Amino acid sequence: MQSVIRICFALSILSIVPACQKKKLSNTPEMGVAAKSEAAIKEADSGVSSPNTKGLAVGPEKEAFMCEQGEVVIRQIEKTNFLDLFHLLCDNKGTTQRFKDLVASAYDGKNEAKVTLISSASDEMFNTRLIVGFAMKAPLGDPAQFFALKAHDVLLNGLRSNRSEMIAKVESRKTFPGRRSIEEIIINYSLSKSEGGALFDTRRTEFNTYLLDEARTDVTISLEEMLDVEKSKSYSGFRGIVLGLQAANNETYLVFLNDMFIKNRIDPLRLQRTLLALNGEMQRVMFPLFTKAK
Amino acid sequence: MNLLSRSLFTLSLLCLGLACSEKKKMGAAATSANAVVDPVGKAGVNYPKLFCENAPKIKVRSDISEELALLCNNKQPTQEFIDLRAEALSSTPGQIDVRFLRKIQTEADDGADFMLGWVFHVPVRPFIVKGRPLYDYIAQGHQGEKVKFNVTTEKLPDSTLEPGGLHLWSVEMNYSLAVQALPTLALANVRKTQYNLWQVLSGNEELGIAIEHLTESPGDIYKASSLVSISFNDGDGFNDGRGGTVVINYLKFKFTNQGFPQTAEQTMMEIAKALANHMYNGLKE
């Protein structure tokens, strides 16, 4: 049996096993299709996060504004395929407990850079979907500064953790591309190593940051979406949300959710560990940039 | 409350779905049926009528039919025209009421379509006004807190003017606009226009029309931009050195607001006010 798995793994890496991709994940919606209820996402305990707080991050007014206007903006820019992810952080009452939990364990440069596994599902054909979340408490006056710092550029140096490696290269930047976006960044990610094993996973994404009100830079939402999905041999999709929320004392919370739908993996747990580790490393790599800006 | 203010307050604001539009007339015609003010001054000349009879005959270089339709109907001045003249004559020197006549912004395509207008009166006569370098006044640019624009000009040779002697000058204008939409990032764009001045009627020094139109918009930000300024003797003189000048201005912009409609609206108003003040200050003495 083990030798069969090894062969399938090798074949899948080479992407010559189309039969392995025929069956969809039974409990996972199609990527890009809107409105999946939060309850439908199966919780998974990653063991890397154990926050517990009932408090708000910055106060009810700002969080209510973020949640109400965030949904309005997502609908206005016709990105409703992000609403299910957005609703993991915001519901009609305001920020969710998950949002509060992520904020409570936000990385501030001194504590542990935690990553919460929100959902994990795989099928027998080794298609894996992972939703992970984390937050940073950055020394930034407001979240609009996040893009001004060209934060994604630091990923070019690579993320290395737990014998895994990923490099992201910014392909282009366009300021004010329209539809409320203040910046559109095209990013090429290359996941080249997973716990020592070589991979060839690449994805190309478009990352846009939006103000929720033209006159306010204290609350932002960024949406990242995979491009050329149909051409990818590694991913069936990728979506990311970053909610930016100005806090007191010249600090800003950045709350991330990443939803990855990866093809052709023989060992979902290994992949899961890799992505958790790399998302944690991303926080550690990015944080000095914020400190320097301060 | 004067007639203009009444009309501005009573005209409706239309907000339909994601598109928000506002259309107004600049003068008081919409609400003042009995507000006819005699446009014939001491010199016994009806300049608005003369303008409407002759302005459509000029071979201009861009479409000004919308502006002409606001001022003239069947070669006769509209009530709008008469009211604007009256407003200019009764205005406090230097107090220019710049207002939106049209505000249409569409979410789906980031479209913005603005029309603004203002009037003023200066004590110098049109003959002198026509000789002034309006383009240089505009080229002073603007350095506001959030909105900045710089302008360079290049006067085109007389050989490029239309034949007939009514085309007095032609200038290429290069605009560079920066709007500090965020503390760390500015919306920036450039555009080129051509600015032309015509005398409306041969042998009549008292009527002029200056028209600026878009010639180039890198990045296709601007779909159209125009400034139409008509100037005519306030009625106190006719080719005799007497009288001042009434100037009626229409500024139009069609462009992509790049997803920032509020900023676009504020910016247009700031630009229009800057242009209005530059023109007035250049012509007032």
Nearest residue of chain B to residue A181 (CA atoms):
B259
Taking residues B61-70, report their average pLDDT: 97
Taking residues B175-204, report their average pLDDT: 92
Q: What is the pLDDT of residues B21-61, one digit of tens each?
A: 555 677 654 444 444 467 888 888 999 999 999 999 999 99
Rounded distance, CA A21 to CA B175, Å? 56
Whether B258 and A148 lie within 8 Å, measured CB to CB = no
Of B20, B179, B184, B256, which to mutate for an interface test with A (greatest number of A Cβ within 10 Å)? Answer: B184
pLDDT at B264 over 90: yes
Which residues in chain A touch residue B177, judged by CB atoms under 8 angstroms apart?
none
Nearest CB partner across the interface for B260, out of A76, A183, A214: A214
What is the reported pLDDT for B61? 96
What is the reported pLDDT for A46? 36
What is the reported pLDDT for A268? 84
Whether B261 and A175 lie within 8 Å, measured CB to CB = no
Residue A182 has what DSSP assignment?
E
Q: Tell me the DSSP string of B195-254.
A: EEEEESSTT-TTEEEEEEEEEE-GGG-EEEEEEEEEEEE-SS-SSSS---EEEEEEEEEE
Q: Which of A154, A125, A169 is nearest to A282 (CA)?
A: A154
pLDDT at B11 over 80: no
Nearest residue of chain A to residue B255 (CA atoms):
A178
Q: How far is A280 from chain B (nearest CA, A)?
A: 28
Q: Are A97 and A116 in contact (CB under 8 A)?
A: no
Q: Which of B243, B197, B210, B226 is nearest to B47 (CA)?
A: B243
Question: With a cut of 70, which residues of chain A have pLDDT below it?
Answer: 1-57, 264-265, 293-294
Whether B183 and A144 lie within 8 Å, measured CB to CB = yes
Q: Terminal CA-to-CA distance of chain B, rounded, Å?
A: 29
Q: How far is A139 from chain B (nearest CA, A)?
A: 16
What is the reported pLDDT for A6? 42
Q: Are B219 and B39 in contact (CB under 8 A)?
A: no
Q: Are B50 and B76 in contact (CB under 8 A)?
A: no
Rounded distance, CA B121 to CA B87, Å? 9
Q: Is the ipTM of this complex over 0.95?
A: no
What is the reported pLDDT for B79? 94
pLDDT cut 70: percent of chain B above it: 88
Which residues in chain B touch residue A145, judged by CB atoms under 8 angstroms apart?
184
CA B124 to chain centre: 19
Enter the tokens of residue B82. 């008469």
Nearest CB partner across the interface for A182, out of B18, B182, B262: B182
Is B185's Cβ below 8 Å from some Cβ in A? yes
What is the reported pLDDT for B14? 30
pLDDT at B127 over 60: yes
What is the reported pLDDT for A57? 67
Q: What is the pLDDT of residues B215-243, one digit of tens each?
A: 999 989 999 999 999 999 998 889 888 89
pLDDT at B2 over 60: no
Taking residues B66-92, report their average pLDDT: 95
Which residues in chain B touch residue A175, judged by CB atoms under 8 angstroms apart?
185, 187
